[in-house]
Amino acid sequence: MQSFRTELENPVVEQEIIELEKKIRAFQGGEIPEEKFRSLRLARGVYGQRQPGVQMVRIKLPFGRISFKQILKIADISDEYASKNLHLTTRQDIQIHYVSLNKTPEVWAKLAENDMTLREACGNTVRNVTASPTAGIDPDEPFDVSPYAQSTFAYLLRNPFCAEMGRKFKISYSSSDKDTAFSYIHDFGFIPKIREIDGVETRGFKVMLGGGLGSQPLLAYEIFDFLPEDEVLPYVEATLRVFDRYGERNNRNKARFKYLVQKFGLEEVLRLIEEERIATKIKSFKIDRNVVPEPTLPTVPIETSAPVDPLSYEIWRATNVFEQKQKGYFGVYVKVLTGDIPTEKARLLIAGVRDHIADDIRITQDQNLLFKFVREESLPHVFNVLSSLGFAKAGHNSTADVTTCPGTDTCNLGISNSTEMARVLEKYIHEFHQDFVFERDLKIKISGCMNSCGQHGLAHIGFHGSSVKAEGRVVPAAQVMLAGGTIGDGKGRVAERVIKVPTKRVIQVVDLLLTDFKTNAQEKENFHAYYDRQTKDYFYRLLKPLADLTNLSSDEFIDWGHEESFATAIGVGECAGVIIDLVATLLFESEEKIDLAKSALEQAYYADAIYHAYSCFVGTAKALLLDKGINASSQIAVINEFDTHYIQTGIFDLPTSFSERVLQINKFEPSKEFAETYLIQATAFHQESAMRREDLRVIS
């Protein structure tokens, strides 16, 4: 188990940075294929932008926790290497843009000085572990989930069973039954519970499994109403091992864990998970509840100050401030338009509030910030600082707080300019629907494409980028989706596709919907209930005139924030990495797995050694199958196909079937004896395969 100061104290980090630099040189020298290199850099948080020749760098911040020093360090790095901007994401990360590929090792090294990592921030990995930003101060929480999120992050980082999966995997921890970390759309979602067991108060979690957004949103299944805290990480490990073995690897559109559940059925997936638990490296994991340090609280004496705008201050305090469970302290939400903080403003922000807030800032899932442990006397001062920087808008988490992804600003998959659309809508709501600044049960979320990075699939009013044809030309369009959102305690709703309209008409869409809701909703009826009562058809008919393409103005052929006519220019998305099917590369990677297994064995990391040996078996077999033109779509398919085409035909001779040999991995508990035996078998298999490759190709 790694400590909280993971990057600073882990000697592996320096070697990883050196290796990244070597791989970049090898790629630029033509020694590594482009697709292979793309997969490698994605696993190190380096993501190709829409603009050629530059990279987005994603900084992985577990549960969105960040200190003053870390923010200032990222600002300095962004000034030197990027675009002088910090972008807050819906997974509580920070991204910087326009970074030269050659500079990414330097960026990583400088981040590591302040305990920040790029490792597994992108690619086919466990992505950032998120949590309710209020964790630790939430008046409704049974207990603080921050240590659990941190422990999950630390345990899974660099773990061999989840470093090279078929697709990404997402985990969240909500602080209470309000489910503000959206457990219902995660591969794993955890909601804290307390039960009395044998007279002892015991912590545990409701467990949601198999949810996801994307182009085909699916709601998670409740698989435990109470899983004791010490069983959480062993169960997560067993599940990830199953996903690694059985998950789709060829068709990325069907490679998320939710599709494995859909394909096999929940009952079979749960059976496979139980079967795998014998092989996990941990059978019980006691969480260190002190793994997340207590924040340094403000102690500087406060000079009384008056708010610069008393009326705005009162509205801001009503919508953006709440009293913590620690009496006398307040949490303050900072609204950050489109999640973008210029570096100079970041410095001024920290300088202005550092004596008035705890050194423990949280990035929120709606791309804002949360300040903690603010004394009541400091609230006017904090408001004044925010006002001077343009961050004091009222209406956090309301209809006027629009969530968005970067869209066509930087993303290869972006179809429309979601950020400018968000700015326009927020401005419009603040000017013409001011009462919705207080409405927290009606959220607007925007994505530049159907992949839902802006969470449009769980919005009450959601938009995603699209296009339509009119007059022989392409028109930028927005797919309107309605009535998604959180219900609570693991339950949620996926927004329904209602109609598609030209992008420039989204203001009219929002205006119609908000006006109709205000006019016709029954007393205390929320938007979900109103939508269900009126039905989808009612909203389709309400918005249908806006979908009319016979009356387009010239301006509607141009997307928000652009001056030229619209054209869909979608690049190759990198959200989930790529599939590498090069025989020589696979054999080389399998040899690397042997070296990793030997190193793990020497350090008595028996479970890791076994898993690296397993990966060698699978990688080598996949290489030989590709020599026959057989591209198996999962690890278990590789194992079975190798039996069919190599063992049963007599090309390869083993004392047992290949599947029996390889799948010993989940028949024994990790031990030195089994690890040594299994590694010997994997090494022999790889050596024979490499030596006979040319002969095998002739035979096939």
**pLDDT for residue 667 is more than 90:** yes
**pLDDT, tens digit, 9 for 90 and up, residues 555-601:** 999 888 887 665 655 454 555 443 333 677 788 889 989 999 999 99
| Domain C-terminal end among 289, 323, 346 | 289
Q: What is the Cα Rg of the chain in Å?
A: 26
Instruction: Return the CATH number at 349.
Output: 3.30.70
**pLDDT for residue 336 is more than 80:** yes
The pLDDT value given to residue 6: 47
The answer for residues whose C-beta is within 8 angstroms of residue 278's C-beta and 6 or more apart is 666, 667, 668, 669
- Does residue 295 sit within a domain? no
**pLDDT, tens digit, 9 for 90 and up, residues 261-271:** 999 999 999 99
Domain match, 417 and 542 both? yes
**pLDDT, tens digit, 9 for 90 and up, residues 163-185:** 899 999 999 999 999 999 999 99
| Domain C-terminal end among 69, 101, 123 | 123
Domain match, 174 and 283 both? yes
Query: Is residue 393 left, alpha or beta, with left meaning phi > 0 and alpha meaning psi from -120 to 50?
Result: beta
Domain match, 435 and 491 both? yes
**pLDDT, tens digit, 9 for 90 and up, residues 442-491:** 999 999 988 888 999 999 999 999 999 998 899 999 999 999 999 999 99
| Domain C-terminal end among 389, 417, 443 | 389
* AA letter at 283: K
For the residues 35-62, what does the mean pLDDT come to? 87
Domain match, 413 and 384 both? no
Domain match, 536 and 461 both? yes
Query: Is residue 292 left, alpha or beta, with left meaning phi > 0 and alpha meaning psi from -120 to 50?
Result: beta
Question: Structurally, how many domains does the chain consist of?
Answer: 5
- Does residue 353 sit within a domain? yes
pLDDT interval class at 434 (50, 70, 90): very high
For the residues 325-351, what does the mean pLDDT come to? 97
Instruction: Return the CATH number at 278.
Output: 3.30.413.10
**pLDDT for residue 523 is more than 70:** yes
- What secondary structure does DSSP assign to 350-368, as a single string? HHHHTTTS-S-EEE-TTS-
The answer for residues whose C-beta is within 8 angstroms of residue 191's C-beta and 6 or more apart is 174, 176, 177, 179, 183, 205, 206, 208, 489, 490
Mean pLDDT of the chain: 92
Instruction: Return the CATH number at 59.
Output: 3.30.70.2500
pLDDT interval class at 376 (50, 70, 90): very high
Q: In the beta sheet, which residues pair with residue 212?
A: 218
Q: What is the share, in percent, of the chain residues with pLDDT greater than 70?
A: 95
- Does residue 644 sit within a domain? yes
- What secondary structure does DSSP assign to 466-499, as a single string? EEEEETTEEEEEEEEEES-EEEETTEEEPPEEEE
**pLDDT, tens digit, 9 for 90 and up, residues 495-509:** 999 999 999 999 999
The answer for residues whose C-beta is within 8 angstroms of residue 112's C-beta and 6 or more apart is 7, 8, 13, 17
- Does residue 296 sit within a domain? no
Domain match, 524 and 410 both? yes
Label the pairing between strands 403-404 and 444-447: parallel
583-602 vs 672-699: helix crossing angle, rounded to 10 = 160
Domain range for residue 349?
310-389
For the residues 666-692, what does the mean pLDDT come to? 94
* AA letter at 397: N
Domain match, 23 and 93 both? yes
Higher confidence at residue 573 or residue 335?
335
CA atoms within 13 A on the CB side of 345: 18
The answer for residues whose C-beta is within 8 angstroms of residue 659's C-beta and 6 or more apart is 639, 640, 643
Domain match, 271 and 373 both? no
Angle, CA 424 vertex, CA 418 and CA 426 arms, to 5° = 100
Token pair for 655: 């004392």
The pLDDT value given to residue 333: 98
**pLDDT, tens digit, 9 for 90 and up, residues 609-619:** 999 999 999 99
**pLDDT for residue 246 is more than 90:** yes
Domain match, 263 and 385 both? no
- Does residue 397 sit within a domain? no
pLDDT interval class at 409 (50, 70, 90): confident
The answer for residues whose C-beta is within 8 angstroms of residue 618's C-beta and 6 or more apart is 635, 638, 639, 662
- Does residue 398 sit within a domain? no
Rounded Cα distance between 197 and 230, Å, is 14
Of the candidates 410, 338, 567, 485, the one whose C-alpha atom is nearest the C-alpha of residue 50 is: 410
For the residues 314-338, what does the mean pLDDT come to? 97
In Å, how far from its chain's centre is CA 680? 38
The pLDDT value given to residue 35: 73
Label the pairing between strands 369-375 and 361-363: antiparallel
Domain match, 146 and 258 both? yes
The pLDDT value given to residue 568: 57
In sequence order, which ranges of 247-281 are alpha helices (DSSP H)? 257-264, 266-276
Q: Do the Cβ atoms of 615 and 607 come closer than 8 Å? A: no
**pLDDT, tens digit, 9 for 90 and up, residues 218-234:** 999 999 999 999 999 99
Of the candidates 294, 293, 300, the one whose C-alpha atom is nearest the C-alpha of residue 357 is: 300
Domain match, 219 and 330 both? no
**pLDDT for residue 316 is more than 70:** yes
- Does residue 487 sit within a domain? yes
- Does residue 571 sit within a domain? no
Rounded Cα distance between 357 and 374, Å, is 5
pLDDT interval class at 355 (50, 70, 90): very high
Domain match, 151 and 216 both? yes
- pTM assigned to the model: 0.93
